[in-house]
Structure 1
Amino acid sequence: MSSFWSWFISIIAVASFVGCYLLIRWTSRRRQNEAGEGEVTGHTWDDNLQELNNPLPAWWLWMFYITIVFGLIYMVLYPALGRFEGVFNWSQTDQYEAEVAAAEARFAPIFAAYAKQPIPQLAGDAAAMRAGQRLFLNYCAQCHGSSATGAVGFPNLTDEDWLYGGTPEAIETSILNGRGHNPWEKMPPMAGALGGDEGVENVAHYVLSLSGAPHDAAKAAAGKAKFTAICAGCHGPDGKGSLAMGNPIMGAPNLTDAVWLHSAGPSLEAVEAAIREGREGQMPAHEVLLGKDKVHLLAAYVYSLSHNP
């Protein structure tokens, strides 16, 4: 924080307390020609409803003064005046780090013990899975949902459809390093390569035909050749995805099943949009945030969702 803003904040803060005190004193003063205490002020409503000049109760007035004194003491003890750190030298960062350190000291041995167990074995431990579920709800449910069934653009983790593989190692790698950050994991816009809107439409119908979704057979037949020439490099000649071709790092989806990541169901418009505009979905890495031991437990929980130990 610069000196200007430090002084600006300090002056405003102190002036606010001084202003409150002066306002209380000013409103408490007796004014010229003011009615005496307990007398009628001259204001009358509804014929006989009169306002009397009664001061605030003393205890109420002293509450204002006590609040001002408390605020001034607080500003001396804690950081409230620009760059002044306060007598206690307290900061929310230090308190957070202290609380995290205390939590790590308490729970780290538990996660370390879990980390020594293979994921399939850990997935059968009810107590471990309760802990894993809490990690999932805190760090993963925002995208994948509390039930882990996903949403449009976010994969369902309870089925057998995997972009990068559903093995314990693949799941743990996905959580540790994230996905979609490398150029080969992104789907580029393909309208130009397919010859424009007509090529996009034909290939989209062919993609729909691979999973038995409603489509135009003539357009699908016209799109097959371009799919084989241009799209099969990532999705495979049969459209079953990069994983089926033995490539677990590309993440090209299987187009022959009934799983639709970027739409609620088979949709010509959604498929055309994906072909025309490309896709660049990303999952953030969690190694730094959670550490390897917690990721190991979290991976076991995700593994358990689609594998019954």
Structure 2
Amino acid sequence: MSAGWSWYVIALVALNLLGCVWLLWWTSKRRPGDPKPEDTSHFWDGDITEYNKPMPRWWINGFFLLLAFSVVYIFWYGGLGGYDGYGKWSSAGEHALAKAADDARLDETFAPYKGQPIDAIAQDPAAVKLGQAIFNNNCATCHGSSAQGAIGFPNLRDDIWHWGGSPEQILTTVLDGREGVMPEWGTVLTGMGGDSAVVSVVSYVRSLSDPERSQDYLAVQGQRLYTGVCVACHGVEGKGNQALGAPDLTDDYWLYGDSTAQIGESIARGRHGVMPAWRDMLGETRSRLAAAYVWSLSHPAGSATAPPAAKETGRQ
């Protein structure tokens, strides 16, 4: 706050305090010509009378003491613009002290899991419960409280991972975030194959997870266009590339919806998905706990089997 604004605030505070003092003094003083306390001639309903009695002296003195306390309070805690109070107290300092104390308690709670492997943490029910709490507070906004995601937000309960599903890959995703970009191909494809080019590519992409569609006319036309444009990221067989976040097109999982219109929208206009980095916000240990919880959703404790297939609700 600039000095000019500080003086403006100081003037307002001083005027308000002086105004309160003047008002108390003015209203507590009787003057010549004032009616007697019992003689105002204001009556209602025959027996209700308005009197002109001043407040008791002890009450008025209490107000003066309150104003004096206000002056001391303002000078001690600060209330004069940008100038610190004599006691050097500030809400920011109070918050910093409280945060430091809370962080110390949290560090003590999380210390046993520092640097531990994700899959090892996931075997500890107490750690998984901590990770779930961290997930609910920070991740559920996008992925949902059940972690089943929504359109544009991955389902974390299945076995499909665009950036890799190993413990370390999941931890990297949580710590440093991910940014997946699907370019706009509508104009390019239209130039290569006409107005039906995007629909043809959609038909071919669908045939990768449903071979019965592979002989459709549009799918055959789409394969040529796919080979010329899409293989760089998704591969010749459509298996994707986890290093780029390019999804596997053979698994029938569609992050942005599985209708012809939604897939066509992804191809023609592109997509830009961002997973924020949580390293600075949560720190490494809390990120490990959250990642361990996510990993545990598809790897239940004590299970040596492959993770369950995605539920229909997750294929969005």
Normalised-by-shorter TM-score class? 0.7 to 0.9
Checking the alignment, whether the CA contact within 8 Å between 1:34 and 1:41 is kept in structure 2 is no
Unaligned runs of 5+ in 2: 302-316
SS of structure 2 residue aligned to 1:151 = coil
- Corresponding position of 2:202: 204
Give the number of equivalent residue pairs: 295
- Corresponding position of 2:37: 37
Cα drift, residue 273 of structure 1:
2.4
SS of structure 2 residue aligned to 1:106 = helix
Inter-partner Cα distance in structure 2 for 1:86 and 1:152: 52
Checking the alignment, whether the CA contact within 8 Å between 1:40 and 1:50 is kept in structure 2 is no
CA separation of 1:23/1:241 partners in 2, compared to 1, >3 Å: closer, same or farther?
Answer: farther
Structure-2-length-normalised TM-score: 0.78
Inter-partner Cα distance in structure 2 for 1:297 and 1:169: 12
SS of structure 2 residue aligned to 1:240 = coil
Structure with max Cα Rg: 2
- Corresponding position of 1:3: 3
Inter-partner Cα distance in structure 2 for 1:257 and 1:23: 79
Cα drift, residue 234 of structure 1:
1.2
Q: Deviations over 1:111-164 (max 9, x none)?
A: 232124322121111111121122112222222222222222222212212111
Cα drift, residue 277 of structure 1:
2.4
SS of structure 2 residue aligned to 1:105 = helix
- Corresponding position of 1:245: none
One-letter amino acid of the structure 2 residue matched with residue 149 of structure 1:
Q
Superposition map of 1:156-235 within 5 A: 156-180=155-179, 185-195=180-190, 198-212=196-210, 217-235=216-234
Inter-partner Cα distance in structure 2 for 1:199 and 1:54: 91
Pick from 242, 247, 262: which aligns with 1:253?
A: 247
CA separation of 1:137/1:21 partners in 2, compared to 1, >3 Å: closer, same or farther?
Answer: farther
Inter-partner Cα distance in structure 1 for 2:267 and 2:300: 36
Checking the alignment, whether the CA contact within 8 Å between 1:208 and 1:268 is kept in structure 2 is no
One-letter amino acid of the structure 2 residue matched with residue 18 of structure 1:
L
Q: Deviations over 1:55-98 (max 9, x none)?
A: 68658767765654454333222232211111221223322322
Checking the alignment, whether the CA contact within 8 Å between 2:183 and 2:269 is kept in structure 1 is yes
Checking the alignment, whether the CA contact within 8 Å between 1:35 and 1:41 is kept in structure 2 is no
Cα drift, residue 204 of structure 1:
3.1
Unaligned runs of 5+ in 1: 243-247
SS of structure 2 residue aligned to 1:193 = helix
CA separation of 1:237/1:11 partners in 2, compared to 1, >3 Å: closer, same or farther?
Answer: farther
- Corresponding position of 1:73: 72
CA separation of 1:278/1:67 partners in 2, compared to 1, >3 Å: closer, same or farther?
Answer: farther
Q: Percent identity?
A: 41
Checking the alignment, whether the CA contact within 8 Å between 1:77 and 1:87 is kept in structure 2 is yes
CA separation of 1:118/1:49 partners in 2, compared to 1, >3 Å: closer, same or farther?
Answer: farther
One-letter amino acid of the structure 2 residue matched with residue 253 of structure 1:
P
1:93 aligns with 2:92: yes
CA separation of 1:250/1:25 partners in 2, compared to 1, >3 Å: closer, same or farther?
Answer: farther
Cα drift, residue 51 of structure 1:
6.2
Checking the alignment, whether the CA contact within 8 Å between 1:132 and 1:298 is kept in structure 2 is yes
Checking the alignment, whether the CA contact within 8 Å between 2:185 and 2:267 is kept in structure 1 is yes
- Corresponding position of 2:13: 13
The CA RMSD measured in Å over matched residues stands at 3.3
